[in-house]
Copies of this chain bind each other. A is one copy, B any other.
Amino acid sequence: MPILRNPCYAARVFLFIIAAANFFNSQKYNCMSTLLTVGSVAFDAIETPFGKIDKIVGGAATYASLSASYFTKPINIVSVVGDDFPADMIAEFNKRGINTEGLQIKQGEKSFFWSGKYHADMNTRDTLDTQLNVLLNFDPIIPEGMATCEFLLLGNLLPQVQMTVLERMAKRPKLVVMDTMNFWIDTQYDALMKMIPLTDVLSINDEEARLLSKEYSLRKAAKIIMAMGPKTLIIKKGEHGALLFNGNNVFFAPALPLEEVFDPTGAGDTFAGGFIGYLAKTGDISFDNMKRAIIFGSAMASFCVEKFGPERLLSLTDKEITARVNDFYDLVEFDLIDALNI
């Protein structure tokens, strides 16, 4: 029944091309919502099989806010750096609509520093060095204008700090997305168990989901974790894509099979930034829209890994993002009607 299939497909391609040109900077999203990102802004030293860089700007809030800035403005950052942090990077943030009023600069102190080396498979890495520096006593002060943000992304931080941020919001945000890591599951379990129930969307990787739920099957793990409180759970599987759970609904976003993965640093935060940025732009937190948001997040992450650090996130165009999202569509698109040949 090509009469049915082709108009749908042709309409998609046609409308998509027209729409793409207008999507990113359109004014029609009067629902465009304010977004607050809390997380590290830091320096990284990275070694991959493709090269080595001794000092590059990194941190969860850096990747997430750069990623989100392609969807919504302003992005607000709450974080802390030392006086070693480059002023031109702050200027770059501002140029991109990232408000750094909540970025504390501690005189005489050094920024958070992480150093890691990736194995040949690019999926596993060794942490060579972690210097908390300014993050050690981070007090997340939220400028007054940011305390009413509707979308809140809590990057991977001490659960108590995440809790403090939430308590300091003037009103409960419309959507709280949080990340955490195995280190906090192991060492801050009780604090984490107070924070997780306050979250709408928990975004963790497969290893963390298994650790948190004590269950190997990700489907079972998801049930256990959602029973802890979050209505929605994202399980990131790196090069194997990501799963989105909500009640009995499950959606799978593939990862694009790339020829080269140059540097995976920040991919998870870039993913989270694209996810919440898309939701903030559209103002729609339905499951169907989260499916789209996770595809946009995956597209942003697929760019992130193409160059060292956040470099690729500084040179993207809306057209490239649209084309990449279309690649994701094509990657999994198949026609069931034709499958049954009616």
Contact surface of A with B, Cβ cutoff 8 Å: 1, 4, 8, 11-12, 15-16, 18-20, 22-23, 28-29, 120-122, 216-220, 237, 240-241, 243, 250-254, 257-261, 282, 288-289, 291-292, 295-296, 325-326, 329, 331-332, 334-342
Docked-complex contact A217 and B260, CB < 8 angstroms:
yes
Q: Chain B: which residue is nearest A295 at the CB level? A: B334
Listed by A's residue number, 14 A-B pairs whose Cβ atoms lie within 8 Å are A15-B340, A15-B342, A19-B340, A22-B342, A219-B259, A241-B241, A282-B341, A288-B334, A289-B338, A292-B338, A295-B339, A325-B336, A326-B336, A329-B334
The CA-CA distance from A218 to B259 in the complex, in Å, is 7
Find the residue from A217, A282, A340 having the highest chain B CB count within 10 A: A340
Docked-complex contact B15 and A337, CB < 8 angstroms:
yes
User: B121, B250, B337: which contacts A331 (Cβ < 8 A)?
Assistant: B250
- Apart from A20-B340, A217-B260, A292-B336, what are 17 other A-B pairs with CB-CB below 8 Å? A4-B15, A8-B8, A11-B337, A15-B342, A19-B337, A121-B216, A217-B258, A217-B261, A240-B241, A250-B331, A252-B257, A253-B332, A254-B254, A288-B338, A325-B336, A329-B334, A329-B336
User: B19, B22, B331: which contacts A252 (Cβ < 8 A)?
Assistant: B331
Q: Which residues of chain B are within 8 angstroms of A18 by Cβ–Cβ distance?
A: 342
The CA-CA distance from A340 to B323 in the complex, in Å, is 13
Docked-complex contact A250 and B240, CB < 8 angstroms:
no
Q: Which residues of chain B are within 8 angstroms of A288 by Cβ–Cβ distance?
A: 334-335, 338
Docked-complex contact B120 and A291, CB < 8 angstroms:
no
Q: Chain B: which residue is nearest A4 at the CB level? A: B11
- Closest A-B pairs by Cβ, 8 of them: A19-B340, A240-B240, A292-B339, A8-B8, A332-B332, A19-B342, A291-B334, A219-B259
Docked-complex contact B334 and A251, CB < 8 angstroms:
yes
The CA-CA distance from A261 to B217 in the complex, in Å, is 8
Min CB distance A182 to B, Å, is 17
